[in-house]
Structure 1
Amino acid sequence: MPTNRQVLLDNRPKGEATASNFKLVTSETPALQDGQVLVRHHYLSLDPYMRGRMNEGKSYAQPQPLGQVMQGGTVGEVVESRNPKFAVGDKVQGMGGWQEYSVVDGNQAGMLRKLDTTHVPISQYLGAVGMPGVTAWYGLVKIIEPKEGQTIVVSAASGAVGSAVGVLAKQRGARAIGVAGGPDKCKYVTDELGFDACIDYRQHKDARSLAQALKEACPNGIDGYFENVGGLVLDAVMLQANAFSRIAMCGMIAGYNGEPIPMAYPQLILTNRMRVEGFIVSEHMEVWPEALKELGTLVATGKLRPRETVAQGLDAAPEAFLGLLKGRNFGKQLVKLA
């Protein structure tokens, strides 16, 4: 059995996360038992939600245990099998974590999913055709419920979730307006993803200024907002929101280090009779087949062209993760392991 390198959560962050919170170790991979398969991970997914799990406080998921492999999504290849459902060479997706290999019980439902990489690259199953894509699909389709001609705004629009939100909205006849950080990301959002406009939030010092830019991009107001960041962007959107508008609360990256996120205009929720709903996509497994079918088709046909930022090797995972939290990535953040 191969030697396995792993990244553990060594200690909990005090404020901002740092590389010293993680520890790289080497372990021996155990021999397979009946029903188990050995997976060599090709790519590891890095996602903002992982920052929240590093804390010990109350959240929607249990905290990441100290001294254990950091949890996270992986795609890879079966290299040894003692399970008739999986053959050597099968491409699979699972939650293998921050390590090069994982031993998985192939009989446990939902632990491993076989992948068809004929038309969709394997890495995309961690992004547009994986959890981030389904997150976008659920928040847009089930909470925002866009109608033809309505205006949908999404923050972090160049990221793995945001990019899919805009393309899915356009497929439903809505206008898609992105908010992203920097001219390169905004250009990608409009030129490659097909959004109607994209606003660089870094060009605005306060919510009023950003709200004015949103007003110009959204002359008929905002009917739906897909929230990934909180803070300044949420305040600006609130100022341009229409009556009976909907907000899908997906992420609040502005507060992931534990800072409070004040909301400047909460009274507008009442004034505009707004629907504001938080959601966790793993609680809605019933929509995954429908969502993945649409997302896979969009990627295979080139209508959704996700960007990826790929760090090389397990050693690079902590710094790549910290960069993700600061917006240094462009599109989906991955670590290539094989």
Structure 2
Amino acid sequence: MSVIRVGTRSSALALAQTTTIANRIAASSGAEVEIVPIVTHGDTSTDSLSSLGGTGVFASALREALLNDECDLVVHSLKDLPTDVYPGLVIGATPKRADARDALCARNAWTLETLPEGAKVGTGSPRRMAQLREIRPDLTVVDIRGNIDTRLGRLVEGDLDAVVLAAAGLGRLGRLDGACTELLEISDWPTAPGQGALAIEVREGKLDRVLASALAAINHATTEAVTTAERLVLARLEAGCAAPIGATAVIDTGLFFLTATVYSPDGTRKITSSHAATPESHSVRDLLDAAHDIAERVATDLLAGGAAEFAPLKVNK
């Protein structure tokens, strides 16, 4: 393969994270790599994410470009990738995960605790909205759209007091230290399945040897396993990427842990389930087997506990 074409959204964040992946692929393969920007409907529409059908709206144009052979692979933020199988495409690699936490970016160095009563906090995520309403029901939660610079700009303009963003995205743009006033800890504020990780999607079937070798070199087995577990819970609930669900999986001292929480949209109720497994080894196959095991147990618990009764989930029976 003389040139490897990498498709990406054209936003600053997408280009930044894709450039990092492209550089790694070039170093691993020795091939020339070309970045192919693709405009998606989610980039051009000003409607809310929930009205557009969730964050999967960003992925569809990239996937069609890949199927149409306009590029050889595409780079997604994994939290934005729908869990449904997309005919003809597979995830070819999952690079090492960045910080999975959310970041509060507020005026006057406010934290979530010190924000004044009635402060306006912006986010486009139903999960974050539910969490804000749970922890600080006195706040005014504002549904917003736009890239990171647009959202942070609203703090400068003064029509918002704070916004909640992914720490990984801020970090990839070099904005974390300057913009973040508080990193929200996973134990109290679980984030979206797959948050902080990237997914490299390719056409299904036999890959070019050079590309296959490059993808194998940048895949991170632990990240693949833990994000698989998180996304399997999402898939089992058929909740969609914008549903109020947080999930966190970690592998520590030989144990595979998974915790997931489903929130009511108004933040008044939630249900949490945690399970652990002991993989037979650290091989990719054994880790993925453990991921499937604990994800099924966690999802079953959530449904048995009544999650489908207070969250907008389409349950897969």
Give the TM interval when normalised to the shorter protein: under 0.3
TM (norm. structure 2) is 0.27
TM-score (norm 1): 0.26
Larger radius of gyration: 1
Q: Determine which structure has the larger helix proportion and give its number.
A: 2
